[in-house]
Amino acid sequence: MSFDNVLYEPPGPIARRRNRIISAFGAILLLAGLMAVGLRLDESGQFDAKRWEIFLHPGTLRFLFDGLVATLVAAVISMILAFSLAVPLAVARLSDRLWLRTLAAAYIGCFRAVPLLLLILFTVILLPSMGLNWSALGYLVFGMVLHHSAMTAEIVRTGILSLGRGQREAALSIGMREHQAMLWIVLPQALKLMLPALVSAVLAIVQDTSLGYIIPYEELLRRSQQISSFAPQTLLQSAFIVTVIYGFVSALLLALRRWIERRQAYTSRAVNGSEDVTASAVFTETLGGIPGVTPALGNVSAQASTRDK
């Protein structure tokens, strides 16, 4: 049994045949349910052309497109700030200093426990009372950064812990300091391993921007509500179109995650199948280009040669 199959044993012929039957039966039930819903909506007139013609107007399309742009702007700003804060939090969470580790754990535990919707409402109420009169985008980004920095910090911490202690110890053995080992050795490898999880975190950020409608921030969901308020007969149609747009963005991010996972799996197979690549060679290549490390590597190699002689 290979290492990849320790926790999951691939199904045999009988199990695969049973899974195909169950999948086909589930697909038939899903199709039947969709047909029943479609017939019910058709009977109520939800497919009438007059309910959809407003979405063919160029002004409506531009209105929704501006909402999509506002959604992506809030997501990108929140993503950059949350990830920038998550890495120091994860490192502090693993620090040897008790006070630093305690502060990081308190921050992560607090903002992971509070629902994002309540956190956004709390920032909208609290910050203006402190004299911080920001725009709706600022309030939304502030609340999302607090929440998602705590969530992402746990992803980063898990990625760091997934690496063996040998990487850090090898870096320290050649004279690197603790922060140099973390910055140049541990973090680059950990970030590479957790790229799929980070893409999922980006997807969560994009979807959570829809909570900005309560501020109100003129994002995509808010724009669709304004359209349905102007034309009440298009309530279901507005929700459907917004769902399709969010689904398209989510599908792009999920496709990116699958591509990264396949790329990492291919690279892992290539490295494991090569007999010429050793752990010391990989470590030496990782250290290449770091100032002050090359002389130390030379000393280590010279000492090893002397011992061999």
- The total domain count for the chain is 1
Q: Indicate the pTM of the whole model.
A: 0.78
Q: What is the mean pLDDT of residues 30-43?
A: 90
Question: pLDDT digits over 227-283, tens only?
Answer: 988 888 888 999 999 999 999 999 999 999 999 989 888 877 776 655 444 444 544
Residue with tokens 């190699």: 301
Of 14-23, 131-140, 173-182, 293-302, the range with the lowest mean pLDDT is 293-302
Q: What is the mean pLDDT of residues 32-46?
A: 89
| Domain assignment present for 60 | no
- pLDDT tier for residue 192 given thresholds of 50, 70 and 90: confident
| Domain assignment present for 163 | yes
Q: What is the mean pLDDT of residues 28-48?
A: 89
Which one, of 111, 163, 160, 120, lies nearest residue 138 by Cα? 120
| Domain assignment present for 93 | yes
| Domain assignment present for 304 | no
What's the confidence (pLDDT) of residue 153?
A: 94
| Domain assignment present for 182 | yes
| Domain assignment present for 302 | no
Mean pLDDT rounded to a whole number for the chain: 83
Of 74-88, 125-139, 142-156, 293-307, the range with the lowest mean pLDDT is 293-307
Question: pLDDT digits over 203-225, tens only?
Answer: 999 999 999 988 889 999 999 98
Q: What is the mean pLDDT of residues 150-156?
A: 93
| Domain assignment present for 146 | yes
Between 24 and 3, where is the model more confident?
Answer: 24
Residue with tokens 């502060």: 103
> Which CATH number does the domain housing residue 133 bear?
1.10.3720.10
| Domain assignment present for 11 | no
* Parent domain of 172: 68-220
